[in-house]
Amino acid sequence: MGLALLAGLCLPAAAEIAALEETEIPASTAKQERTLKLINYLIDKSHYRAVDIDDVFSAQVMDEYLGQLDPGRAFFLSADIDQFSRLRFQFDDFILQGSLKPAFAIFSIFRTRVDQRVEYALERLKEPFDFDVEEEYELDREDAPWAKDAAELDELWRKRIKNDVLSLRLAGKETEEIRDTLERRYTHIARRTRQFKSDDVFQTFTNAYVNSIEPHTSYFSPRASENFKINMRLSLEGIGAVLQTDNEYTVVRRVVPGGPADLNGQLKAEDRIVGVAQGDDTFVDVIGWRLDDVVELIRGPKNSTVRLEVLPESSGMHGDTEIIAIVRDEIRLEEQAARKRVLDVDTGNTKAHIGLIQLPSFYVDFDAMHNGDADFRSTTRDVRRLLEEFRDEDIDGLVIDLRGNGGGALTEAIALTGLFIPQGPVVQVENSGGNVQVDRDPDPEIVYDGPLAVMVDGYSASASEIFAGAIQDYGRGIIIGEPTFGKGTVQNLVNLNRFSRNDEDMGQLKVTIAQFFRVNGDSTQYRGVIPDLVWTTSDPDPEFGERGYDNAIPWRNIREARYTPFGVVLGDSEMTLNMVREQHLRRIARDPEFNYYLEVARINRERRDITSVSLNEETRRAERSQREQERLDLENRKRQALGEKPFADTEALEEFDEEDQRLSDAERKPDAFTLEAARILGDLTYFSRLNHSADTSTLVKQEAPETSLSN
């Protein structure tokens, strides 16, 4: 098994690290072995994806485990990996036997390597750096070779430390403050690793195992289970954001609709939290922290203030940080509720009075419903009420905005679809046995039968994809925006304590048990929903969404359900949609705001492709100034094209952004994409009518596009 050989690699910790609280190296327990065998049984009996626990799978588990321990390849040496390779094709046997000793042996070596790296970092931090030298720091080492020896790892860490120092210098920190901040940061890495309990190591390895099957299956230790329950409760007193660890950063994966962060408007998905402060207290640097510990800092009493130091996604890995103050509160159901407004637009062909419904999530007040409250809140009930109000406003069409809607109650996605179609199937669900259940709208009533558009983006997921897919399949409306997230699987949360014979707390298993399919037979999984009209200004990261997960269940299709397409809005012809698309492209070619977004997409693409940064201070300052000037110039070109006064400097721009964030949705001007979606729907109705009554060959205007903003 090679355990004795592995154990021989454990080296004494350095003096600086020895001063930390001494803790025993975690060891596996009989309870954990029983839990692993139980998880094996549940995976085999209920997981949607059948998997062979063999040598190929064994290698995947080992790679995943090493990746979870050392994602940036900053601690292990290639010699360690060579030693571990003796176990590479044995983890399948260990898993089936419930044996955890090899996983714990690898962790003990990892802990030693962390101690050694932190010792080096603390010593090197005492020495000065030469910031006049031209050299590069590699940002992402996920796929880089493992360091061949300690000297190579020292050099990697020298550049890492130098980059950390330079980043803080550029942020205006003084020398002593920089040293104190980084000493705390590096020491915390060692402390965090030493604080790993046996259950923490078990959870890490078990997740390496189940994530090797499929990314949405995960194990929660007893401690993590309690945090998971807290996060699932709408009464959570915090900021309302779904967080995840990515390398050594805490990344915002989703801002929860109706939560304090959503209402504040400054925190965005994919932002990285690098510091947390309570009220006016000093910031705590949280780079390299465990997710549980970061969440614990952010969570707090209602009406208290937490400040976050954030590295915005738009600024790249080493841009300028921003400070965001958020007042903790409950996530309120009423703030998640559907809301409406009316947009009056001129398409160039016709004027249209378009209704807009913004839908942040698919919600239902389960407690009120189960208690028999006749007026319980739900997505479908609220949208029905808004549609009835629109009847009095004589709208020409309706836009439903699902951008950023990460899903919610499946029952609401089905019921909401039923407001727009006659009775019929909405979604198909296939379980692990291959049995397909068709979930239907049983109600023949159509609350709204007029022209319809649905806006989606890369964050529209799960229930949003079911609704958008059904609307598209029935030909009930046009889908506009970006390809959606691609979350088309169903998970079930299993309390493992149900299977305990000794009242042991064994934690919970979230297991994927089924897959969603549209009524046309296509899955929403992986590919998501592809809009009928995709924004040319969008440039989504190809690694974003389900497509970015390792081991994601691939797209497939099954037999379509029996359904009758609605087929009214798009008329009888693809020609109508082509004419609408052509008008849209002509319109946005001369639209300053869309040209602005084209430039933003280009800049984001360039920053996404950056793999290293300069460690020369003058170069970095010049790059920072260039970014600021580029943003200012871009904003001012847009404002001048719109006939608005340009900003004098970046400070004026930042003040404007802060004022804009304080506006309510009703006060804020609709964004360019919303207005264009309304125009598209107006054109769709216009051309659909004309295509049924006249020759349309001369109806599309032929103006040449004006010069784009980028020129």
- Among residues 590, 596, 683, 587, the alpha carbon closest in space to that of 636 is found at 596
Amino acid present at 40: N
**How many Å apart are CA 36 and CA 41, to the nearest integer?**
9
Instruction: Please give the structure tokens belonging to residue 381.
Output: 């009930």
The span from the CA of 461 to the CA of 213, in Å, is 21
Would you say 570 and 576 are in contact if contact means Cβ atoms under 8 Å apart?
yes
Chain centroid to CA 264: how far?
Answer: 19
Give the whole-angstrom CA distance, residue 166 versus residue 169: 5
Residue of 159, 340, 487, 638 marked active site: 487
Residues recorded for the chain: 711
- Contact present, 285 and 304 (Cβ < 8 Å): no
* Closest C-alpha among 469, 415, 471 to residue 443: 415
Residue type present at position 206: T
Q: Does residue 473 have an active-site annotation?
A: yes
Question: CB-based contacts of 195: which residues, under 8 Å, 6+ apart?
Answer: 23
Q: Which of these, 485, 491, 489, 481, lies nearest to 453 by C-alpha position?
A: 481
Alpha-carbon span 581 to 680, nearest angstrom:
8
693 carries an active-site annotation:
no
394: left (phi over 0), alpha (psi -120 to 50) or beta: left
CA 392 centroid distance within chain:
39
Beta bridge partners of 440: 425
Structure tokens at 46: 């209920």
**Among residues 255, 273, 251, 272, which one has the least CA distance to residue 264?**
255
For the packed helices 150-170 and 175-194, what is the interaxial angle rounded to 10 degrees? 130
Phi, psi of 273 (to 5 degrees): -90, 120
User: CA angle 280-281-287, nearest 5°?
Assistant: 120
Active site residue 487: yes
Q: Given the residues 473, 532, 591, 683, select the one marked as catalytic.
A: 473
Phi, psi of 254 (to 5 degrees): -160, 140
Residue of 212, 221, 462, 464 marked active site:
462
Among the listed residues 118, 622, 684, the one whose alpha carbon sits nearest the alpha carbon of residue 452: 684
Q: Distance between CA atoms of 186 and 687, rounded to whole angstroms?
A: 63
Residue 359 is classified by DSSP as -
| Dist CA 364 CA 376 (whole Å) | 8
- Which residues are the active-site residues? 462, 473, 487
